[in-house]
Each structure stands twice: as structure tokens, then as C-alpha cells.
């Protein structure tokens, strides 16, 4: 048996096409979604992400607003920009590209964003709403993982899921989303005892630990669905948190790196911007784009 490849790139392309159709329908009502991205400093990876986000925002018919600030920007100036964006009716979504320069308080910056425009889903109110089952803006990467899992498995109720990683960006919200879909969820991490044995119990295994090829094939339950969130640069190129070669003969389905979860993140950012726009205008949430 060889695992089916979960093609996140193709799924994301289809998702962006659906979003473009929804954006065109909003245009008929005189509504144009707008996404503002703020980049502080010149981190090379962040610059690539911001360019890609800007291009795809325009491709689906949304307005793209980019604000590039020098690395030395004082926190008061950044917070003032966020306040202006919060008040701007043309801006439905605000994303401050992370990481920030060390002199800036990341939590203070994120929590300055209006929760309804927080398309990254990192604001403390959105975190709390997700954890308590309320309507929230949901972090993009876990939302993309959920979409891929639902597409592959349908109903997740009763599935045993193990999430490796407890970050605020992926691990914790991923666990909340799986719980919301009635999976039985274990969050594992660096201090977990006998991690391989725990992983072998999972119908769904989400690896978001940030260590190259950490999860081996013999950790995987035969037939399990494996979502590899990791993006690690090695001498051999980009690899995930899962040892893809040894996992392939064991898993039932697996996301590759690259081409798996990565493309879903930007597509879900656009989905969140569309959702935020609909809510700002008193319209129903777009179908299939929210948990």
C-alpha cells in the first residue's frame, strides 16, 4: 500500500476560485473586500510571503493594501497605523507579518487589531471565542488543515487525533477545531512520554513541531491520515516534520512538503478576509469557509 497524496496546492487553487466567485458577487452589491498587510523590517522569508499574499489578494478581486515599515519603527507608530486601519472601512482584514523586530511587543501589536478584522485569528478575543465554541476568526493554517481533513475523511466524529505541537499559531487552535468536529484529541509535545506509541494510536496525525523529518514511518498507524505542517529548510531542500519516504508505505493519506499545507495558508487568509467582509456588511458567512 502507498499513501494517497493530499494535494493542498490543487485544493487551494479551487478554494481561491470559489473565493473569486464570491468576491465578484459582492462587487455586484458595491462591496469590495480589502486586506491590509503590514511588514516591519526586511526579513527575507516575510518579504516573500507578503509579495505572494499581495499577488493572490489581487487575483481574487480584493483590494490589497501593503504597508512596509523600517525595522526601527517605534511601537507607538506601528500601533497608530493599526488604529488607522481599524477605522478604515475599505479595510476588512488586517495582518501584521510575524516575526516582528525584537523591540516590538508582539502580543500588544496583535491585540491592537480590531478582532473582527483579525484575519490571522491571533487576537486574544478570537482565541477565547474559538476555545469556547463561539464564532471567531480562525488561524489560517489550522483552518486549511481542517478543510483538507474534511475533504479526505468527511465526518471527523469519533476519530482519534494526535496533534504534535502546542503553539498558539497551529497546535492549540488545531486541537480546538478537531474537538469542534467531535474528534477525540490528544496534544503531544517535547515532554510527551513515549511519543511514537501515542502517535500509533491516531487515525489523524497532525505534525506541527518544527523539526525536520521528526516523525518516522513506524510511528504511524497503518492507514492513518497524516497532515504535515512543517516547513524545514535543509541541504536537500524543503522537508516537513514527517519523514515522508518512510511514512508513504504506511499512511492511508499524507500531505507532501512542499505542496501540502503551505498553499492552504494563504488561501485561508483570503477566505478569512471574505468572511470578515460578509460579517461587516451583515451578510451570512460564505458557505464552507468557516468551521
**Are 229 and 254 within 8 A, CB to CB?**
no
Pick the catalytic residue from 9, 28, 43, 53: 53
Q: 32 an active-site residue?
A: no
Catalytic residue among 97, 172, 181, 228: 97
Q: Which residues pair with 205 in a beta bridge?
A: 162, 226
Question: Does residue 134 carry a catalytic annotation?
Answer: no
Residue 97 falls in the annotated catalytic set: yes
> Choosing from 117, 118, 120, 243, which is the catalytic residue?
120
Determine contact, residues 157/178, Cβ cutoff 8 Å: no
Residues labelled catalytic: 53, 97, 120
Amino acid at each position: 500500500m502507498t499513501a494517497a497524496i493530499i494535494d493542498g496546492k490543487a485544493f487551494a487553487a479551487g478554494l481561491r476560485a470559489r473565493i473569486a466567485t464570491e468576491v465578484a458577487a459582492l462587487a455586484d452589491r458595491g462591496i469590495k473586500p480589502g486586506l491590509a498587510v503590514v511588514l516591519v523590517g526586511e526579513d527575507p522569508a516575510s518579504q516573500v510571503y507578503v509579495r505572494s499574499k499581495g499577488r493572490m489578494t489581487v487575483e481574487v478581486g480584493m483590494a490589497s493594501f501593503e504597508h512596509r515599515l523600517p525595522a526601527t519603527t517605534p511601537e507607538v507608530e506601528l500601533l497608530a497605523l493599526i488604529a488607522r486601519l481599524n477605522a478604515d472601512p475599505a479595510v476588512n482584514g488586517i495582518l501584521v507579518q510575524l516575526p516582528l523586530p525584537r523591540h516590538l511587543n508582539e502580543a500588544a501589536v496583535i491585540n491592537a487589531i480590531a478582532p473582527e478584522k483579525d484575519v490571522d485569528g491571533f487576537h486574544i478575543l478570537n482565541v477565547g471565542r474559538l476555545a469556547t465554541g463561539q464564532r471567531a476568526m480562525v488561524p489560517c493554517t489550522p483552518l486549511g488543515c481542517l478543510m483538507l481533513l474534511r475533504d479526505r475523511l468527511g465526518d471527523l466524529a469519533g476519530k482519534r487525533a494526535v496533534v504534535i505541537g502546542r503553539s498558539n499559531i497551529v497546535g492549540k487552535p488545531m486541537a480546538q477545531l478537531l474537538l469542534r468536529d467531535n474528534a477525540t484529541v490528544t496534544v503531544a509535545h517535547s515532554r510527551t512520554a513515549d511519543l511514537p506509541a501515542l502517535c500509533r494510536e491516531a487515525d489523524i496525525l497532525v505534525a506541527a513541531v518544527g523539526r525536520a523529518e521528526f516523525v518516522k514511518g513506524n510511528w504511524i498507524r497503518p492507514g492513518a491520515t497524516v497532515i504535515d505542517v512543517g516547513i524545514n529548510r535543509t541541504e536537500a531542500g524543503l522537508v516537513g516534520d514527517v519523514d515522508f519516504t518512510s511514512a508513504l508505505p504506511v499512511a492511508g493519506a499524507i500531505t507532501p512538503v512542499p505542496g501540502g499545507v503551505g498553499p492552504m495558508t494563504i488561501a485561508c487568509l483570503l477566505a478569512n478576509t471574505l468572511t470578515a467582509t460578509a460579517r461587516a456588511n451583515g451578510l451570512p458567512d460564505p458557505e464552507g469557509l468557516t468551521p
